């Protein structure tokens, strides 16, 4: 697979001429979902789910389909009968030729006073795991972990411990729109020295082979 990093938590995967896009949210490029054969959304928060971007992607490719949890599916499905699929923890499916497993159920705690929304992570091709907004540890080996490096719901120590627990071969930052360039070297140093795995960053638009 080829991985293209998009802004914030959005990533694009390509294999055998097919394209899968995860979390084309409001912080992503306006065209983040365009050209996708399959779309996956982890949860309903706007930095991961943007209704306009999803509708543009589904309208632009009448064969494209969306897999997501119920809170998102209920907003999109009426306009695209048969093309929007509701998934949850433990499900497995094939999306545009990509084999996908679903792990996780709830968004990480932001504050005890705020209710937790549902959140799922996706393990694609038994290789790349995108956890959305949670530190979910899938019950399967992970080669490439898309690492939510900075968010209102996490701190550096938790991100380091998450890396240690998942033990991927490598980690690539996502959920990075909140992180100022000034602070990136600090996070890079902490994760590189304490995370126990190969850690790196891709600028939006950069690609790498998985």
pLDDT in tens, 13-33: 999 999 999 999 999 999 999
Average pLDDT across the chain, whole number? 97
Sorting pLDDT into bands at 50, 70 and 90, what band is 10? very high
Q: Is residue 57 a contact partner of residue 34, using CB atoms and an 8 Å limit?
A: yes
* Domain 2-209, classified CATH 3.40.50.1170, yes or no: no
Report d(CA 82, CA 89) in Å as an integer.
21
What is the torsional sign of CA 39, 30, 53, 49?
positive
Confidence at residue 77, expressed as pLDDT on a 0 to 100 scale: 95
Rounded to 5 degrees, what are φ and ψ at 117? -90, 165
pLDDT in tens, 49-102: 999 999 999 999 999 999 999 999 999 999 999 999 999 999 999 999 999 999
Query: Is pTM, for the whole model, over 0.95?
Result: yes
Confidence at residue 63, expressed as pLDDT on a 0 to 100 scale: 97
């Amino acid at each position: 697979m080829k991985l293209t990093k998009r802004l914030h938590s959005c990533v694009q995967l390509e294999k055998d001429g097919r394209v899968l896009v995860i979390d084309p949210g409001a912080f992503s490029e306006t065209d983040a979902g365009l050209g996708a054969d399959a779309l996956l959304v982890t949860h309903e928060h706007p930095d991961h789910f943007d209704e306009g971007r999803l509708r543009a992607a589904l309208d632009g490719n009448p064969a494209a389909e969306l897999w997501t949890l119920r809170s998102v599916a209920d907003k999109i499905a009426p306009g695209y009968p048969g093309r929007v699929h509701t998934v949850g923890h433990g499900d497995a499916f094939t999306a545009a030729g990509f084999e996908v497993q679903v792990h996780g159920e709830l968004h990480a705690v932001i504050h005890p006073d705020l209710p937790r929304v549902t959140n799922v992570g996706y393990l694609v091709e038994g290789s790349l795991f995108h956890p959305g907004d949670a530190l979910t540890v899938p019950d399967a080996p992970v080669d490439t972990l898309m690492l939510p490096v900075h968010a209102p719901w996490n701190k550096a120590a938790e991100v380091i411990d998450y890396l240690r627990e998942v033990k991927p071969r490598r980690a690539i930052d996502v959920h990075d729109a909140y992180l100022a360039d000034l602070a990136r070297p600090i996070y890079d140093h902490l994760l590189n020295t304490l995370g126990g795995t190969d850690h790196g960053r891709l600028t939006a638009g950069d690609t790498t082979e998985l």
